Amino acid sequence: MSAQTGNRRDRLRKTALAEIHAAVRKLLVDQGPAAVTINAVAREVGMSGPALYHYYSGHDALIGAVTADFFRELAATMEEARDAHAGAPAGERILAACRAMRTWAIAHPAEFGWIFASPITPANRQPDSERHQAGQRFEQVLLDLTVELWETNPFPVPDPAELPASLREQLTTYSATIGGRLPPEAAHVFLSCWTRLYGLLCMEVLHQLDFAYSDLEPVYEECLRDLTRILGLDRPA
């Protein structure tokens, strides 16, 4: 009997969490980030503000959990595009994942903006936080493919001695955090490529380039062609 009671309690909690997350998303999409408050979310799901604290310790915890949902959704979209080209060279799967990222971002501008334009609280920077782990899953999609490319058809990298000392130190630290899967100079190319791509996509989603462009897909594709050259994807294996 106690096991059945526990299972029922777990199901009810999962249902309530799903309703809370759906309410956050609705408020975000319909009214913007400022509308996502504890009391507003509670009203959407028909409970009091204090009752919501039974599920989340506060606003930051709620935001972190919903952001993790968005990261997982985006990562899953990119993984699906990658896996649709299973057996293809790493470069082809990289391009497929990058295009899938843009497709998701354009279809979900509020969620994408929430992920990349919102400040990260100290709690959500912790390695064991749900948001951090979901963000790592997203990062891993392109990191794994870049590592595969580096191991099978190494791309050109700068001479580490020619990089500023501060940059070398930071890249060495980052290389260590990913288990040395990319040496610092290769990590520099990886980070340069993806921050450039993220930056362009963020500017598109946040309408920062509307003054010049009504359709940024050709610009995005041009950026992908540049990354293709940087990563040596235009060279034979």
- Residue 13 is predicted with a pLDDT of 85
* 116-163 residue pLDDT tens: 876 676 666 777 788 889 999 999 999 999 999 999 999 999 999 999
For residues 171 and 119, the answer to whether their CB atoms sit within 8 Å is no
For residues 201 and 102, the answer to whether their CB atoms sit within 8 Å is yes
pLDDT higher than threshold 80 for residue 230: yes
Quickly tell me which residue has 């609280």 as its tokens: 121
Q: How many DSSP H helices and E strands does the chain contain?
A: 11, 0
For residues 117 and 59, the answer to whether their CB atoms sit within 8 Å is no
* 43-91 residue pLDDT tens: 999 988 888 888 998 888 899 899 999 999 999 999 999 999 998 999 9
pLDDT higher than threshold 70 for residue 3: no
The pTM of this model reads 0.89
DSSP letter (8 states) at residue 121: P
pLDDT higher than threshold 60 for residue 2: no
Q: Is 48 left (phi over 0), alpha (psi -120 to 50) or beta?
A: beta
Q: Determine what percent of the chain is predicted with pLDDT higher than 90.
A: 73
